[in-house]
Structure 1
Amino acid sequence: MGFFGQFRFSNGAWCSGSKEEPYLLIDVHDSDLASIEYAPVAGGASGRCFLGFEPRHYFDDPEANDPINPALEAQALADWARAATGAVVDTNRLQTLLADPDGEHPAEPFVEETVVRLLAALELPIPAELQAASAQQVLPTGAPRGGDAARQALHDLGATEVTPQTLGDFMGAVKKHLD
């Protein structure tokens, strides 16, 4: 079974319940797809995009979602980041992270890794639960998979969230616990 989780960013922090604009909502489904909802939305975009797979391809159901225009959503998401946090984001980088509109398999085997890359591109902190789930997926074969090394590394760093700036420290601490 893969990872399931929902993360909401509003008022400059990860929180629960609030959809006060600007907000970003990430819903990870079974490590295979993540839906991204954001508001406010500009430029005719839908305010929704996907990482990994679009639901219509994942569930083999053309009605599961309307087709997404990756270029339009990447631009709108970059505009969202600028309005929400002041971050200037490369729309081409964002577009490469979005689910392929034709249903091609994503480059990353676990969508949590793509979510972490998206948050880094948006210059947002990475929730500890998501960082730990992503770290579990990149551990070497035969390494503990329960997240113990990742949780211990977070504890050692005194972190409840891992930001893109501390990602190297975090991965180094995970490696220390694996050795």
Structure 2
Amino acid sequence: MGFFGGFLYDGRSWTETDHSGMTAPSGPWLHVDIHDSDFAVLTYRPAGPGTGTAFIGYTPSVYFGEPDASPPTDAPREAAGLAAWWSGLNPSASAADRDTMAATLLPYLATDEPQDDEDDEDDDEFEDEDEDDGTSPFVEDKVDDFLTALGLPSFRTAP
């Protein structure tokens, strides 16, 4: 069994939370909801040019093999939305800074295209690193890398 957890960043710090019972802060916020160490739902406000929802690891549609499990995902749009969200925390950021941030965030975001998982049968569920590229197969580690790219502390600092 993988890791499950929800965490809210209110522009200053992380708190552990359940998305269904969450009270959204008044300013910019980011909610990370991790499902079984396989995918994370990122909900953010304000959404800027994005929809306010992005995914890391897999989209629910791909993960569950059900096209209706999540709306269609436009990763470049969400990267732009998250970069706009980031600029709200960094008011001195220029349009070029936002574009650079969007390009930095895009590789972290999941798309609706199924991933090539031909090596999954050989994966050891307790192994800490993926032998192919040295990265962790656990989405919570990918979320931490994404947060570092955003200049945010780890969600693991939540009380």
Say whether the fold is shared (TM-score over 0.5).
yes
Report sequence identity in percent: 35
State the SS of the aligned residue for 1:8.
Answer: strand
TM-score normalised over the length of structure 1: 0.65
Q: Which structure is larger by alpha-carbon Rg, 1 or 2?
A: 1
Deviation at 1:101, TM superposition (A): 2.5
Distance of 2:148 and 2:139 partners within structure 1: 14
**Displacement after TM superposition at 1:84 (Å):** 2.5
Larger helix proportion of the pair: 1
Greater relative contact order, per chain length (Cα 8 Å cut-off, separation 6+): 2
Question: Structure 2 residue aligned with 1:39, among 19, 38, 45?
Answer: 45
Distance 2:38 2:29 in 1: 23
In structure 2, the residue matched to 1:103 is 114
CA RMSD of aligned residues (A): 2.2
Whether the aligned pair in 1 keeps the contact of 2:73 and 2:111 (CA below 8 Å) is no
Distance 1:105 1:120 in 2: 26
C-alpha change, 1:111 and 1:102, in structure 2 (3 Å) is: same
Give, as a single letter, the amino acid of the residue that structure 1 aligns with 2:75.
Answer: P
- How many residue pairs end up in the alignment? 130
Aligned partners of 1:26 and 1:34 also within 8 Å: yes
Residue 93 of structure 1: how far off its partner (Å): 1.8
Check if 1:64 corresponds to 2:66. no
Q: Which amino acid aligns with 1:52?
A: G
CA distance in 1, matches of 2:53, 2:40: 10
- Deviation of the 1:127 alpha carbon: 2.8
User: Runs ≥4 in structure 1, deviation > 6 angstroms?
Assistant: none
CA distance in 2, matches of 1:85, 1:116: 19
